[in-house]
Amino acid sequence: MSKNPIMTTRELASYIKLNEKTVIKMAQNGKIPGVKIGNQWRFHLAAIDRYLQTDLMESSDRELDSIIQTREDVIPLSRLTAVEFIKLDSSVSTSEKVLTELCAIAYAGGLISKESVLLKELKQREKMLSTAVGSGIAFPHPRHPSEELFKEPKFIILRTTKGAGFSAPDNKPVRLFFMPCATNEFIHIRLLAKISKLLHVSAMTEEFMNAKTKEDILRLLMEFDRTHLFPGRGQ
């Protein structure tokens, strides 16, 4: 896949698991970014990524489910991280140090081969558009997730003690960082959708902010999987 593929209406509909008529209506209403050439719509994947970052947190659970639930994607959120990918109460207080620490965690956990390569990608992404979404939360990630960057799909959780300036839309410091480590854009979007659905749960952000241990974080994720992601199913 090219780094910024152009998608047809059918391809985008398949990508975000909506029917083509819904995609066209969303494009016509300006809800998703697209360009109409003649009587055909075309969508840049990078623009869709920016839209999803800002809008996923505001989407309904039903809309998020349409992205998350596919036959190929049935991995519980709790299985996409581990204690080695969680760091609580970090002392870093600037955006650059946050990104550097996220890269260090990814490298120590065997997710990447070179910290410098990922750090460069993360910085470029922040220059394009801040990944902060407000309420003390951000989703740092590279512009073009790929197997060249990440060895397997996971996500990293970093919590800071004081927070860091991250150009958040509410101008508040960011304390809680979720970094999706995806091997392609499709997995990236679904990771973002799962994390967004997690943070929709009442008081979940507060629970993450106040969790004492890494094991507490994992328990929160497992409880979310049981009650919200796969209700009625055993793990």
| Tens-place pLDDT, residues 140-176 | 999 888 899 999 999 999 999 999 999 998 899 999 9
Predicted confidence (pLDDT) at residue 18 exceeds the cutoff of 80: no
Structural contact between residues 183 and 152, judged by C-beta atoms closer than 8 angstroms: yes
Amino acid, single-letter form, for residue 93: S
Predicted confidence (pLDDT) at residue 230 exceeds the cutoff of 70: no
Tell me the HSE value of 174 on the side-chain side, using a 13 A CA sphere. Answer: 26
Mean pLDDT of 217-224: 95
Give bridge partners of residue 178 from the DSSP assignment.
Answer: 157
| The pLDDT of residue 217 | 97
**Cα distances (angstroms) measured from residue 115 to each of 99, 146, 167, 178:** 10, 15, 23, 17
State the chain's maximal CA–CA distance in angstroms.
56
Predicted confidence (pLDDT) at residue 104 exceeds the cutoff of 90: yes
| The pLDDT of residue 71 | 44
pLDDT in tens, 69-87: 544 455 788 999 999 999 9
Mean pLDDT in the chain?
A: 85
Distance from C-alpha of 18 to C-alpha of 198, rounded to nearest angstrom: 21
- Nearby residues of 116 by Cβ (< 8 Å), 6 or more positions away: 103
Residue 56 vs residue 200, higher pLDDT: 200
| DSSP class of 83 | G
Predicted confidence (pLDDT) at residue 111 exceeds the cutoff of 70: yes
Other Cβ atoms less than 10 A from the Cβ of 79: the count is 12
| The pLDDT of residue 211 | 97
